[in-house]
A = this chain, B = another copy of it.
Amino acid sequence: MISERLAELRRMMQREGWDAVVVPGSDPHSSEYLPARWQLRQFISGFTGSYGTVVITPSHAGLWTDTRYFIQFDKELGGTEYVLHKLRVPDAVQPWEWLGKELPQGGVVCIDGSCMSVAEVDEYRQAIEPKGGQLDNRPDFIDELWPDRPATPDDPIWVLDDVYTGRSVADKLSWLRGCMKENGCEAMLVNSLDEVAWLLNIRSADIDFTPVVIAYLLVERGRATLFTNPAKAASPAVRQHLEVVGCVVRPYEEVTDVLRSLSFATHLWVDGSTLNEALYECATDALKENVMNRPSPIRLEKGLKNDVELNGFRRAYLKDGIVQTKLFKWLEESLAAGTRLTEMDVADKQIELRRAQGEYVDESFAPISAWGENAALPHYEPTHEVCSEVHAKGLFLLDSGAHYLHGSTDITRTIPLGPLTDLEREDYTLVLKGMIGLATAVFPCGTRGANIDVLARIPLWKALRNFGHGTGHGTGHVLCVHEGPQDLRQNVYDQAILPGMVTSDEPGLYREGMHGVRHENVILCHELEKNEFGDWLGFETLTCTYIDPSPVVVELLTQEERDWLNNYNEYVYIRLLPHLTDDEKRWLRGKTYKL
């Protein structure tokens, strides 16, 4: 099927005079997780990973992705014409750099500018310029090859109450208008889906696991316009919610007309790092140099969680702690009783337990429930059709999360289901040391993620081991499970870790064909104190699920690490106690004994 699609695309290329086609990995809003309609990359390649770009030429089909998906590439695309181009490795070659080399002199590259950001298109433009290459921007060129392409989703919008958000829409819009004024702009086009949802305190189910609304928002001084399918906003509650803050609803497609009709004297703020090229061209046609391409201030503001959101996060992790205690007890006892279970059975059971906790919205991403060697694929996604059985030996890894109305979670636990090898124990312990090393960091204000990421790696590095993904990402509040602006990774990136930021701490270790370990807690940055040496910051661990002490090689822990683990498990035990049955209490006591 993939080879047929490639053949058809190449016929199209010949007809249109394209020397290369870029099939991007995103949607008009630079989203990470995509509705089916915008899974162009998967359509043309069959690759289901969440990150990657495809470039097709008459003689080459390449997929660019990062270390998380190298093994998955082999599984999904092995045997096809596709060649893997590795990103986030030393001497990585970006797809535009590759095109800059491979494109024939004066060649034409077809892009879909509706699904690529201004910044991304600029990379391609600059890379092919020395060759006299040209871009042919053809929004939705894929339609011709994809007759049954899914429609834009139209799930209803719902309102996330101020009781959960801690901040009214009026207040958020007034703050944003202040930023606009400071920057000399009368209008701002908000393009990122989670920024739209955050500003208006609205949510929807348009995208699996990510409760954003497919929409653009144009904020002007006296009004705001939400461009989305009006049927989604038809309920009286939503209509009133928007009306009160002066927000009118217009059809999604009309955003281009409205941009074109803006007074030419309007200074329009856009963020070209996420805005798609097609809309940017439309805005610059109308407003010329009055379009100001600057980073959106919403990203950081949204990343600094308020107290109501933080308490919501804490409640969410408490619920997940209860859920996972029940889940792992059930799993252990089921296996002991000889019940046959698959990875998906465990994931499904967890959803059932989470739902029972109340205020449950959805999972926050497709759960990674992985037994044995499956856990060596850092982003393995089991399905009901294809997944393994879980057996009473080795390590089982569960990376999952939920959206509750009051907050979202993202947690990984690796638990022993029976006898372990020495290497499994050692890897388990070293990864744990890394997670603790970062969680207990203290650092002066101004410190960036790249400055402290090593604290999660050095125990592994000293044993000549490493993991190929970042250590931590920001997590949204009933929004995207991965959100900026901060991250914790080796890459040099100039955003300080600031009080109020909620970030994951998830080192891992993966041995292909053997086992995988990842421990993930979520940590909140908060102020410690000021003194002559600086303004000091540290982390509070929000996650509230026990860490099984039994696989730990005690001699590998320092006293400080041992104390941390013992205190953490004791804290979890005490917090969960009121919510457990006597049987569960006894069981949890057995999983939280002091080392």
A412-457 contacts to B, CB under 8 A, are: 440-448, 450-455
Once A450-B451, A454-B454, A455-B454 are accepted as A-B contacts, the answer to whether A466 and B444 lie under 8 Å apart by CB is yes
- Chain B residue numbers with a CB within 8 Å of A490 are 446-448, 451
From the candidates B90, B446, B458, B464, name the one contacting A536 in the complex (CB within 8 A). Answer: B464
- Chain B residue numbers with a CB within 8 Å of A451 are 450-451, 453-454, 490
Check B533 against A448 for contact (C-beta < 8 Å): no
Once A447-B490, A490-B447, A492-B448 are accepted as A-B contacts, the answer to whether A442 and B462 lie under 8 Å apart by CB is yes
- Chain B residue numbers with a CB within 8 Å of A326 are none
Once A441-B461, A451-B450, A461-B441 are accepted as A-B contacts, the answer to whether A466 and B558 lie under 8 Å apart by CB is no
Q: Is A581 an interface residue (CB 8 A)?
A: no
Check B448 against A461 for contact (C-beta < 8 Å): no
- Chain B residue numbers with a CB within 8 Å of A442 are 458, 461-462, 464
- Chain B residue numbers with a CB within 8 Å of A130 are none
- Chain B residue numbers with a CB within 8 Å of A465 are 533
A471-500 contacts to B, CB under 8 A, are: 490, 492-494
A494-544 contacts to B, CB under 8 A, are: 494, 528-529, 531, 533-534, 536
Q: Closest residue to A440 on the B side, CB-wise? A: B462
How near does chain B come to A120, taking the closest CB pair, in angstroms?
A: 21
Q: Kindly state the separation between the CA atoms of A548 and B448 in the bound complex, as whole angstroms.
A: 35
Check B494 against A464 for contact (C-beta < 8 Å): no
Check B458 against A441 for contact (C-beta < 8 Å): yes
- Chain B residue numbers with a CB within 8 Å of A443 are 454, 461
Residue of A441, A464, A465, A493 with most partner-chain B CB within 10 A: A464
Residue of A452, A493, A558 with most partner-chain B CB within 10 A: A452
- Chain B residue numbers with a CB within 8 Å of A533 are 464-466
A368-427 contacts to B, CB under 8 A, are: none
Residue of A445, A450, A453 with most partner-chain B CB within 10 A: A450
Q: Kindly state the separation between the CA atoms of A466 and B462 in the bound complex, as whole angstroms.
A: 25
Check A466 against B534 for contact (C-beta < 8 Å): yes
Interface of A is mostly: mixed
How near does chain B come to A337, taking the closest CB pair, in angstroms?
A: 38
Q: Kindly state the separation between the CA atoms of A542 and B90 in the bound complex, as whole angstroms.
A: 29
- Chain B residue numbers with a CB within 8 Å of A441 are 458, 461
Q: Closest residue to A446 on the B side, CB-wise? A: B90
Mask: chain A, 61-99; 1 = CB below 8 Å from B; 0 = not: 000000000000000000000000000001000000000
- Chain B residue numbers with a CB within 8 Å of A493 are 492
Q: Closest residue to A561 on the B side, CB-wise? A: B558
Once A450-B492, A458-B455, A492-B450 are accepted as A-B contacts, the answer to whether A445 and B529 lie under 8 Å apart by CB is no
Check B450 against A452 for contact (C-beta < 8 Å): no
Q: Kindly state the separation between the CA atoms of A455 and B455 in the bound complex, as whole angstroms.
A: 8
Q: Kindly state the separation between the CA atoms of A440 and B461 in the bound complex, as whole angstroms.
A: 11
Residue of A90, A445, A465, A533 with most partner-chain B CB within 10 A: A533
Once A451-B450, A454-B454 are accepted as A-B contacts, the answer to whether A464 and B558 lie under 8 Å apart by CB is no
- Chain B residue numbers with a CB within 8 Å of A534 are 464, 466
Residue of A458, A528, A559 with most partner-chain B CB within 10 A: A458
How near does chain B come to A447, taking the closest CB pair, in angstroms?
A: 7
How near does chain B come to A509, taking the closest CB pair, in angstroms?
A: 9
- Chain B residue numbers with a CB within 8 Å of A559 are 558
- Chain B residue numbers with a CB within 8 Å of A461 are 441-444, 536
Residue of A447, A462, A494 with most partner-chain B CB within 10 A: A462
Once A450-B492, A455-B454, A458-B441 are accepted as A-B contacts, the answer to whether A464 and B90 lie under 8 Å apart by CB is no
Q: Closest residue to A448 on the B side, CB-wise? A: B492
- Chain B residue numbers with a CB within 8 Å of A454 are 443, 451-452, 454-455
Q: Kindly state the separation between the CA atoms of A454 and B447 in the bound complex, as whole angstroms.
A: 10
Q: Kindly state the separation between the CA atoms of A442 and B464 in the bound complex, as whole angstroms.
A: 8
From the candidates B450, B531, B536, name the one contacting A450 in the complex (CB within 8 A). Answer: B450
Told that A450-B492, A451-B451, A464-B529 touch, could you supply 16 new A-B pairs with CB distance under 8 A?
A: A441-B458, A442-B461, A442-B462, A442-B464, A443-B461, A448-B490, A450-B450, A451-B453, A451-B454, A451-B490, A452-B454, A455-B458, A461-B536, A464-B528, A492-B493, A558-B559
Question: Could you tell me which A residues sit within 8 Å of B by CB distance?
Answer: 90, 440-448, 450-455, 458, 461-462, 464-466, 490, 492-494, 528-529, 531, 533-534, 536, 558-559
Closest 9 CB pairs of A and B: A492-B492, A466-B533, A442-B461, A442-B462, A90-B446, A464-B536, A465-B533, A558-B558, A466-B534
Q: List 27 A-B contacts (CB under 8 A).
A: A90-B445, A90-B446, A440-B462, A442-B458, A442-B461, A442-B462, A442-B464, A443-B454, A443-B461, A446-B490, A447-B490, A450-B450, A451-B454, A452-B454, A454-B454, A455-B458, A461-B536, A464-B529, A464-B531, A464-B533, A464-B534, A464-B536, A466-B534, A492-B492, A492-B493, A492-B494, A558-B558
